[in-house]
Amino acid sequence: GESVGLHLPTLSVQEGDNSIINCAYSNSASDYFIWYKQESGKGPQFIIDIRSNMDKRQGQRVTVLLNKTVKHLSLQIAATQPGDSAVYFCAENTSGTYKYIFGTGTRLKVLA
């Protein structure tokens, strides 16, 4: 498949280690945030979301942290696996705008 982004920041982690992917969002009025995973040749896949009235949300092997003070979002992946290799995007939404603003993406490479 074609590259999603040729010059994305890349995070390389050893298999089994934890990964942390960061995102700075742009709009202080944004009240809903999503992390997406995109594999080559596929569309973005929903991982986890969080609303602005929360600071932390956990899913299966993933945790999202939201710091509204500094407009920062992070995705933590526990026990990273080869199948986690992909490009990860954060997305922000403000209620009533019906559109999402996406971050530039981070490429995660899992080393065996």
| CB of residue 66 to other proteins, shortest distance in Å | 13
Question: Rule CB under 8 A: is residue 46 a binding residue for other proteins?
Answer: yes
Degrees, nearest 5: CA angle 5-99-102: 25
**Alpha-carbon gap, residue 7 to 4, rounded angstroms:** 9
Binding piece for other proteins, criterion CB under 8 A, among 16-24, 54-62, 65-73, 90-98:
90-98
49 binds other proteins (CB under 8 A): yes
**Contacting residue, 93, 107, 108, 110, with other proteins by CB under 8 A:** 93
DSSP result, 32-75: EEEEEEE-TTS--EEEEEEETT-SEEE-SSEEEEEETTTTEEEE
3 binds other proteins (CB under 8 A): yes
Order across the sheet with 72-77: list the strands.
19-24, 72-77, 62-67, 56-58
Does 44 participate in binding other proteins (rule CB under 8 A)?
yes
What residues line the site for other proteins (CB under 8 A)?
2-7, 31-32, 34, 36, 41-46, 49, 51, 89, 91, 93, 95-105
